Chains A and B, each alone.
Chain A
Amino acid sequence: MKVTAKPSTSQILPDERGRFGKFGGRYVPETLMPALDQLEHEYLKAKEDKDFKKELNYYLREYVGRPSPLYFAERLTRELGGAKIYLKREDLNHTGAHKINNTMGQVLLARRMGKKRIIAETGAGQHGVATATAAAMFGLECEVYMGEEDMHRQSLNVFRMKLLGTKVIPVKTGSRTLKDATNEALRDWMASVKYTHYIIGSVVGPHPYPMMVRDFQCIIGEETREQILEKEGRLPDYLLACVGGGSNSIGLFHPFIDDTTVKMIGVEAGGIGLGVGEHAATLSYGKVGILHGSLSYVLQDEDGQTSPVHSMSAGLDYPGVGPEHSYLKETGRAQYVSVTDQEALEAFQRCARSEGIIPALEAAHALYYTTKFAPTLGKEKLVVVCLSGTGDKDAFQVADKLGVKI
């Protein structure tokens, strides 16, 4: 089969009911159904519209700074003594993570739909900052829901959002983290749907979100494809990315779905142990269930109540995962592993010292697995790791973990 720079995707998923196999769908109150229908309709129209694409590409290039480099991590490769490691530098995007690929797309869409108010949920605050940024640039009103626990862990991002003119609304219910912020944002949207667009930050939630967010994040994989062909003349052997909700990973993976020689590994948060409430490795240890509007793997108890989760990394601290990942797991197309807090912390420091790049704690999970995995492969193998964001936001937290006062 001839390899082309443009990805081919033979399977057109999700289907018209928003299903990836049995996963996905729409499990939301009736009040939201017409809004989801409208969103899907408008999105599919925009997707076919050349002007929309042109506009989005313009902002991605001029404002976000795309394409992001596919950087050959020479020292890390040498130290590990195995496969050749490339880092897809999403940390170099404006606002420091992949999240802005999605928020630029959705803010443009909100404008097309004539919605003047933007809301979002955020965990690490990266999605919140990316949303606040896009909203500020287009002069839209913006409110972001954030769990109190996360506001504490990510106070820098809270301040950034405020600087950007966004109102950060503390969420005090439940575990006071990402899942509770998502509940609150969904509730807000139920009451404000006429004039508000809700920007979900990952490939989760009811259809069309998992599809739409994926499409906006596919720029990661599409660029990677062109860049690796240019540098190596062939496709990579392995793709690795961390999986919270699953957006940076699906963005990297999806443009390679039809290339069966390219293996995909998603890395989840193993937290501090395997007990309930000690990790957030949904695909590794969860069961099929329903959370936040879609059917997917989820961490829940035998009644279906959501389990408590833990990850040092706020962006991975979520009991659900995007339905397309559940599908990739079930079909065996992708494989999912987990990495602990401690291991991620180790990779965080190693990447800083070996490559001069301070990675986001989320991305450090994927990096750690790479440091174990790459040495088991031959030197001719090619591995691409998505460096989903910068670790600047994590400096305080890591210092604290390492017992350093700053």
Chain B
Amino acid sequence: MNRIDQKFQELRRRKEPAFIPFITAGDPDLETTRGLVLELERRGADIIELGIPFSDPIADGPIIQASYYRALSKGLKVSQVFECVRGLRKETDIPIVAMVSYSLVFKGTPENFVARAKEAGLDGATIPDLPIEESDAVHLAAKEKDFKIVCFVAPTTTPERMSRIAKGTQGFLYYIAVVGITGVREALPPDMRENIQKLKGMTDKPIALGFGVSTPEQARAVGQVADGVIVGSAIVKELERYVDRPATERIAAVGELASRLVAGAKGRL
């Protein structure tokens, strides 16, 4: 069974939402990435979302874009990201989902990308610039390899699209909490609860919520309604604060934040 499915089964038994931190591969180097994945797991993360840097991200806010830039300015290659995951698989079985632009997936053909990703030890991918209409090729390739393509629903998504996306998604469904890009926000939107309830009526697949979750209190609020809490920019921002410090300090700082967020998400504040 795919590690993502296994993890959600386990969490369902424990009646716990998943805590899913996002980090950018290669920010500021792959050694940090490796250390972070292990640290985040130790701190209670259930699934890792691993951003593969892209030169022209449009779904991501300035914090994540800057992290992509830090990684790419050192000449990071997609093959090195795969290499890093391959190395991690000797040390951990935590599910890892790539976040990757379709520009990169398409380049070497979707079939090839999925095969390489799976072989490296990735369990799935979210492709934020690939709407359901254009996703047949990658879904087909993914199904064959039991690689999960996680699809997005936004607050702007119409009901017809919602049910189509809910059917198509694999592993879990990614609910974008706010209209806009990733980033740190003060308040969570009021229609969050309602939209998640609507989605739960359409699918049995787990629903994880991301975009804009940054504090333990917000994580708790999300954990009460969704099956997964995704935190991206807040974590990347914490890393950015320590980017000039030694790797061990960076990793420890992000780990501290992760512990607080895990406590929030799991209702143990």
Contacts and interface: CB of A to CB of B under 8 A. Distances in A.
A286 B104 CA distance: 15
Nearest to B106: A290
A179 B178 CA distance: 25
B161 A33 contact: yes
Interface in A175-200: 179-180, 183, 186-187, 190-191, 193-194
B106 A31 contact: no
A295 B108 CA distance: 14
Nearest to A319: B56
A289 B129 contact: no
Given A34-B157, A190-B179, A194-B179, A29 B129 contact: yes
B196 to A, nearest CB: 16
Contacts of A208: none
A27 interface: yes
Interface residues of A, number: 35
A4 interface: no
B56 A291 contact: yes
A27 B134 contact: yes
Contacts of A191: 178-181
A30 interface: yes
Interface stretch (B57-65, B141-149, B252-260): B57-65
A241 to B, nearest CB: 26
A193 B179 contact: yes
A29 B133 contact: no
Interface stretch (A39-47, A105-113, A297-305): A297-305
A179 B58 CA distance: 11
A263 interface: no
A289 B133 contact: no
Contact of A27 (B77, B131, B165, B180): B131
Interface string A216-230: 000000000000000
A31 B179 contact: yes
Contacts of B179: 31, 190-191, 193-194
Nearest to A287: B107
Interface of A: 17, 25-35, 173-174, 179-180, 183, 186-187, 190-191, 193-194, 289-293, 295, 300, 302-306
